[in-house]
Amino acid sequence: MHVSSRRVGVLASLAAAVVTTLLTGCDWHIVGSSSASAVGVVESQLFPPFVRHTGRAPTGYTVTFRYEDPKATSVQVQGEWYFSSPAATTTTSSQGLLPSQWRPGDFPIGWPNTGVTAGWPVVEMKSDPRTGVWSYTTPLPSGEFNYWFFVNCPNPGGTGCTGVSDPSNPPWNDRHGLSTGSVEPTSQVYVPSDPAFHTVDYWWQAPTSPRGALVDVTYPMSAKPTREFPGMHYLAVYTPPGYDQHRSTPYPSLYLSAGARGNEVEWSTRADAANILDNLIDKAEVEPMVVVMTNFSFSLGISGTCPTSLYEQDLTAAVIPYVQSHFDVSREPSQRAFAGLSCGGGFAGTLLAQRTSEFGYFGLMSPGPLPLPALSAAQTAAIKHVGVMVGGGAQDPIHSVAATDLASLRQAGDPPFTDFINGGHDWDVWRTLLRDFLTRVAFRPVKS
């Protein structure tokens, strides 16, 4: 088993104007107003994101992104900061507003958008010839944002170039360029809320203390090994603060699947799952649990579609037995939940129809590409005894699949908890859906 540690901060209260804080597993800085509370202090020799509380419009905060490379000819930064208002957004178009154009009520959305390149904006950074540090400053509203760099890319918009994570703010399983599992080329930055500018308080996304642990492990696949599908595969596992391998009452377990071509560390990096769990557990909004994040890319066909048979087989025949033998988790289906996004949401739907007896709770987040199959009388009866959530971005281009699933469950007499919020097919939506699934559905009593 390979273990990656996450540094733990120490709470400190500072009355000075400058606050240094350890957030998102890296060292970066907030410069703020006359009083602040920070999570404690480790000086970095690198150049992490610089979060400044300005108290000025449009959001009250700016973030300076920095990348040191004196030999680089160009550095670009791409981040999740196109925005749109609900009134101007549909499943086929959005405004593509830049952070400087943000107004209260606007939300991040990268797909779909109108009048801009599909995806997220790419910006040229400026170099300081004295230090060799490239930088870019932008206002940002509150919340967690993914970003990455293109170095020496000759094309505008990073076209055809491979992005890299911030070396001053690497993914939790990447230390000194060595990864213990899949490589996730993005980094994350958290921006607090300034209520004076009506930004949403995403306190549950912020790094906090105490912190749980993340490990990247390998397990033997159930499928016959081939050159394409080697015999060992990856899992990322979250254990809560104070995890006790010999606790008298085994922990409940949540299994999470990412989307098509996703890997086992996307939920713990791009979706901020560990920080979300740490906060919700600390506030007693959820009970401590073990979270298992899968890598199902081996099960995808050449066409990139989402076949479920190999993933379903591997999950039930290999992943769950491995977790039960290596972690103190309950073997009761009522203490086991499954949720996924996009293609993983489609997997959740298949498990809901085919494996209802093995999980007590199911989260279908932005499911696709195919809706639920027709449910038999036996399946309909079984679903009434489990907890189900169907949700996604209200402006998601594949919103119709979730709407069809919802209609099918309602028609069968099994109305799920619904959770549709403003947003597209984006991580901003899935972070909120994870919080809502944990606090509203998973491991809650189910009406029979």
CATH fold, domain 213-440, is Rossmann fold (3.40.50)
Confidence of residue 23 (pLDDT cuts 50, 70, 90): very low
Average pLDDT over residues 134-147: 98
Q: How far is CA 194 from the centre of its chain?
A: 23
**Mean of per-residue pLDDT scores for the chain:** 86
Listed by start position, the domains of the chain span 2-81+120-205, 213-440
Q: What is the dihedral of CA 353, 358, 361, 367, to 10 degrees?
A: -40
Confidence of residue 233 (pLDDT cuts 50, 70, 90): confident
For the domain made up of 2-81+120-205, the CATH class stated in words is mainly beta
Q: Are 339 and 434 in contact (CB under 8 A)?
A: yes
Per DSSP, the residues of 258-316 read: --TT--TTHHHHTT-HHHHHHHHHHTTSS---EEEEE--GGG--TT-----HHHHHHII
pLDDT tens digit sequence for 156-198: 888 899 999 999 999 999 988 888 899 999 999 999 999 999 9
The pLDDT of residue 45 is above 80: no
pLDDT tens digit sequence for 25-35: 333 334 333 22
Tracing tokens 């606007």 back to the chain, one arrives at: 106
Average pLDDT over residues 15-20: 29
Beta strands of 60-132 (E only): which ranges? 61-68, 75-79, 83-84, 107-108, 122-124, 126-128
The pLDDT of residue 304 is above 80: no
The pLDDT of residue 301 is above 60: no
Q: Are 191 and 51 in contact (CB under 8 A)?
A: yes
Helix (H) or strand (E) holding 2: strand 2-4
